[in-house]
Structure 1
Amino acid sequence: MIKRIILLFHVFAMVITMQGQKIKVDGVSVVVGENIVLDSDVQKFKQEIHNNSEGKVTLSDCEMLERIMLQKLLAHHAVVDSVVVSDAEIESGVERNIAYLKQQLGSIEKVYEMYGFDDEDDLRKELLRIERENTLIQREKQNIVSEITVTPEEVRVYFRSLDSQNNLPEFGAEIEMALIAIHVTPSEKEIEVVIKRLNEIRQDVINGSSMRMKAVLYSEDPGVTQNGGKYTITRESGFVKEFKEVAFSLEEGEISEPFKSMFGYHIIQLEKIKGQELDVRHILIQPKVSEEELKKTKDKISQIRDSILADELTYDLAVMKYSQDKGTRQNKGIIINSETNDASFELTRMDPSLYGRISSLKVGEITEPFYDETREGLKMFKLIVIREKRESHLADFSRDYVKIQKMTMQKKQEDTMEKWYKEHVADTFVKINESNADCEFEYLWGQEL
C-alpha cells in the first residue's frame, strides 16, 4: 500500500508542495545530490499517505523524510547513469496527469487555482519537471532490477522459509471467470443521421462559425464543458489510434471529414502545430441506440444462454462464435485480472455490482444476461460463467506456485534495491538540516547542514 501511495504522491501531491514558496519561505530538510527536499514536502507527503490509507498507515516525519530521500537518490543517479527519457513521453504523461486532475476538480482553472499556480502554463511547467523526475526514478529502478530472475529452487526455499516462521500468507477466496459479450449496435439509419449532422457542423465552421461554440453546443465528449473540445496531443498521447491518425494528417486550420472510433463519430479541426505537438479541437457524437435494438441484443444473448444450458452449445464454442469482446474472445472468454496478470480474482476485492452477480454461483453456472457500458460509451449485454472457484486458504506450494513465484521475485527485487540503496547512500552527496539531526534513519545518510 505504501509503495502505491508513494507513486501517487510523486505524480500529484508534489504539485502542491512545489508551490510552497508562493505561500511562505520554505525550509530545506535535506539535499540529496542536486535534489532539494523542502519541509513542506514531508508534511504534504504525510498528509497524502494518511488520506490514501484512510489513516491505516502512519509514519513519523523522519520515516516520511527518508522515503522521499530514497526517491531523490534514484533521481540523482538516473542522471549520473545517463538514463534517457524523451520529451514526447514526458509530455504524454503530463497530458494524462492534467486529464486526471481536471476530471477530479472539473476544470483546468480550478486545478491551477487550487494548487496555487498563476495559470495553466505555470502548472504545465511544474508538471513537466515532476513527470521527468518521476520517469527518471522509475527508469533507474527498472534498470537496477531488470535482470533479476528466480529459479524454481529459489521459490521453494522462500516458501520453506515462510513456512518455518509460521508466516505463510493466506489467500482469499478466488474465482476464474469467462465472458461472452455482444455489443448493442446502432442502426445504419442512426449512423447516417450522425454523419449528416457532423457534416453540417463541419460546413458551418468552414463558412465561419466557431468550432469551439459548436463543440460546446453539440459534442458529447464529457470534457467539452471544461475545454471546449480542445486538446494538445503528441503521437505518444493516450488517444485512440484513429483520432491521432486523422489529427496528424491535417494541415493547420483544416477540418476532417467525419470518422469513427470506439467512442463514436468525430470531426477534428487542427488549430495549431507546435513542433511535435498539435492543438486540436474535436466534436464527438454517439449514434443513439433504440429500445428495439437493446431488446434484440438481450434476446440474442438469452438464446445463447438457453442453448448452453440445454447442452446444445458449449460455452467455449459460444465464445468463439458469438462473443465480440476483443480482449477475451481468443482466450476462450477467460477474463484476465489487470492487477495480477492472471485469471484469478479475489472475491472480496471485486466490484460490488459484479460480486453480487457471481458470488453465489457454483463452478459451471452462468449469470443471467446483464447490461453493461464502457467508459467510452460502448453498450453491450454480457454472460459470465464461473470456470473455477477456490476457498480462502493458507498458501500451498503446488496450488499457489505462480503467486509464490511472484512473491519470491518481489522479495529478491526488494533485497536488490536494499543493497543498491546502502551502496549509493554512501557515495552520494547528502546534507541534512540540523532540525532533522535526531532522526534515526534506516540508512547512513550524510552529515548535518
Structure 2
Amino acid sequence: MFKKGILAALILISAAGASAQRRQVMLDKVVAVVGGSSILYSEVDEYARQLVEQRRQEGYTSDRDPMNEALEGLMTQKLLYNQAQIDSVEIDQGGILTSVENQVQQMVDLEGSISKLEAKHHMPIFTLREILRQRYEEQAYASRMQEEVINKVSVIPGEVERFYKSIPKDSLPLIADQYVYAQITKFPKSMKEAKQRTRERLLDMRERVITGKARFESLARMYSQDGTAIRGGEMDPTPLSGLDEAFGRALEGLKPGQISEVVESQFGFHIIQLLDKRGQLYHFRHILLHPVFTSDELSETLTQLDSIADLIHKDSITFEKAALLYSDDASSKMNGGLVSNHEVLERYMPDAKMTVTKFLKEDFGHFNRLPDYNALIQLEPGEVSGAFLTEDMLSNQMGKIVKLVEVIPAHTASLNEDYLRLEEMALHDKQERAFREWLSKKIDGMYVYIDPEFRDGEFENKHWVK
C-alpha cells in the first residue's frame, strides 16, 4: 500500500514537472481558433488542471482526457463570445470591474503586497488587471449569449408530464426535506430615529466633499454599503428607466459635478454625484447607507417579539392573528404569516409563473434567509421560535419569530406533489437540447481551426472537427 502511494505521488510530480517545462516551451502556441479568437496551449493546460482539481474535490472520475475537455469548453466560450459581438449583446461592465478589483485584492492579500504579486506574475499590476478584465469580459459575453439562447425556451404542462414519464421509476429524482413556515417580523420602533441618523451621516459626507475635505470616491470606498463601493461608488452609464424612481428623479436634476441632497430609495439612503450625461445615459457615483440601530433598540424589538410569542404559546392569540396584527411584512401578514417566494419573484423575477411556499435547505441560502433555517431546524411542526435578529432582502436589520408549519419528508418526485420542481428539470433538459442544436449550427457557420495535435481528440460535439 505504501509503495503504491509513493509511486502514484512520484508519477504525479513528474507529470507536473514535465507539464511545467512544456508550458514554458509552448506558452504562445495557438492550438485552436474560433471566429476571431485564438486559444493558447497554456490556457488549455491551465483549464485542464482546474477540471482535474474539480473532479478530485467533487469525488468523481472521468475517462475523458481533461485537455480535450478543456479545449472544447474554451472553444465553446470563444464561439459564444464571437456570436455575442455579432449580435451586439450588452453586458454589465460595472460588474466586471467590480469582479476584477475583488480578485486583484484577494491576490494581493494572499501574496502580502502588490510588489510581491507583481514579482510572482512577472508583470505590473495594471497589466494583470487588464488580463483579468479581458477574461471576465469574455466570460460575461459568453454567459449572456448563452442566456439569450436558452431564455427563449419554455415548457408547457404536457411536456412536463412527458418528461416525467420518460424517467425510469428507479431513476426518479429524490426531493429532499422541504419546509413550510410562517413568520412575524418587526423593525425597531426607532426606525424614524435610525433613518434620521443615516440622513445626518450622509449630509456630513456631502458637506465634506463640497468643502474639499474629502473625495466622494474615497468616502464611497470606506462607507458605502453598495457593491459599487470598491469602485468609489461609480456606476456604468445607465438610463433613468433602469433606476429606482426616487433615485432617478434626484439624478435627473443634477448637473455634472453636482452632489444631490440625501435621497431615500427602496434600497436605502443615498447621496449621488453626476459625472456625465450622454443622451439618455447618466454616468454617476453614489454612496448607499442602510439605517443602523443601537443594541438597545434591537433588544427592545426582540423583547416585543418574545412577548408576542409568549401570547401564542399561552393560546391567547393564534400565530395567524398575531401576524395580521403585528407583522411588518406586507407580503405575508395577510396570509397568516405564511412565507413564500412572492417578494423575490416580484422584485427579481417578474416573469416567473408561480409562487411557492415549500423551501429546500439550499433555498434558505438566498436573500438573507439562513437565520430562518437555523431557527426552524430547532422546532417541531406547530412550534414557534424565540425572537432572533436577521435582515430583510435589502439588508435592513429586523427581528423575527417563525412557526414551523410542516416538514415534507424526503421522497421520490411525483407529478402531483412536485410539479414545480419537475417543471424546472424539464425546462433545463429542453434548454440543454436547444443549446446543443444552436451550437452545432453556429459551429458550422463559423471559422474553426484545431491544431493537428488535438484534432483526433474526443469532442462531445462532432461538428468541431471539419
TM range (shorter): 0.7 to 0.9
- 1:177–1:386: 8 Å Cα contact kept in structure 2? yes
User: Over the residues paired in the alignment, what is the CA RMSD in angstroms?
Assistant: 4.3
Where in structure 1 are there 5+ consecutive unaligned residues? 1-20
CA deviations on 1:274-325 (whole Å, 9 max, x unpaired) are 633524254x565552344223312322233233334444433433433223
Structure 2: runs of 5+ lacking an equivalent: 1-22, 346-351
Deviation string for 1:77-123 (max 9, x for gaps)?
A: 455xx53434xx4334435534754785689x96x969865269846
Q: Of the candidates 306, 313, 325, which is equivalent to residue 309 of structure 1?
A: 313
Matched residue type, 1:252: P
Match of 1:126 among 109, 127, 134: 134
Kindly provide the CA deviation profile for residues 300-354 of structure 1, in whole angstroms up to 9, marking residues without a partner as x. Answer: 2223323333444443343343322355456644132979973333347755754
1:246 aligned to which of 235, 244, 250 = 250
1:301 aligned counterpart, secondary structure:
helix
Query: Does 1:183 pair with 2:187?
Result: yes
Partner of 2:423: 405
Deviation (angstroms), 1:359: 1.9
Q: CA deviation at 1:30?
A: 1.6
Q: 232, 244, 247: which is aligned to 2:235?
A: 232
The CA deviation string for residues 397-426 of structure 1, in whole angstroms up to 9 with x for no partner, is 322233223222322232333333444444
SS across alignment from 1:137: helix
Bigger drift between 180-189 and 365-374 goes to: 180-189
Larger helix share, 1 or 2: 2
State whether structure 2 residue 177 is matched by structure 1 residue 163: no
Aligned twin of 2:156: 150
Residues 202, 267 of structure 1: 8 Å contact kept: yes
Equivalent residue letter for 1:358: L
Partner of residue 16, structure 2: none
Q: Distance in 2 between matches of 1:348 and 1:208?
A: 48
2:228 and 2:235 in contact (8 A); partners too: no
Give per-residue Cα distances to partners, 1:235-276, cap 9 Å, x unaligned.
269986655543443212222223334665443333x31633
Question: 1:366·1:384 contact (CA, 8 Å) conserved in 2?
Answer: yes
Shift, 1:62, TM fit: 0.8
Distance across 2 between alignment mates of 1:213 and 1:416: 45
Q: Deviations over 1:32-68 (max 9, x none)?
A: 2333233233233334445666622566111122223
1:22-37 matches, within 5 Å, as 25-37=27-39
Change (3 A) 1:191 1:147: closer
- Any conservation in 1 of the 2:264–2:270 contact (CA below 8 Å)? yes
Percent sequence identity over matched residues? Answer: 23
Aligned partner of 1:41: which letter? Answer: E
Supply the distance in 1 between the matched residues of 2:136 and 2:301 (Cα, whole angstroms).
46
Contact 1:92 / 1:234 at 8 angstroms: preserved in 2? no
Letter in 1 for 2:356: D
Distance in 2, matches of 1:415 and 1:217, equals 45
TM-score normalised to structure 2 length: 0.72
The one of 446, 452, 458 equivalent to 1:440 is: 458
CA contact (8 A) 1:150 1:409 kept: no
One-letter code of the match for 2:93? E
TM-score normalised by L of structure 1: 0.74
- 1:218–1:130 distance in 2 versus 1, CA, 3 Å: closer
Secondary structure of 1:300's aligned partner = helix
**Structure 1 position 344 matched with structure 2 position 358:** yes
After TM superposition, the structure 1 stretch with the greater mean CA deviation from structure 2, 120-129 or 53-62, is 120-129
Tell me the SS of whatever aligns to 1:231. Answer: coil
Q: 1:435 to 1:334 in 2, by over 3 A?
A: same
AA paired with 1:345?
A: F
Query: Do 2:235 and 2:285's aligned partners in 1 also have CA atoms closer than 8 Å?
Result: yes
The answer on whether the counterparts of 1:106 and 1:226 sit within 8 Å (CA) in structure 2 is no
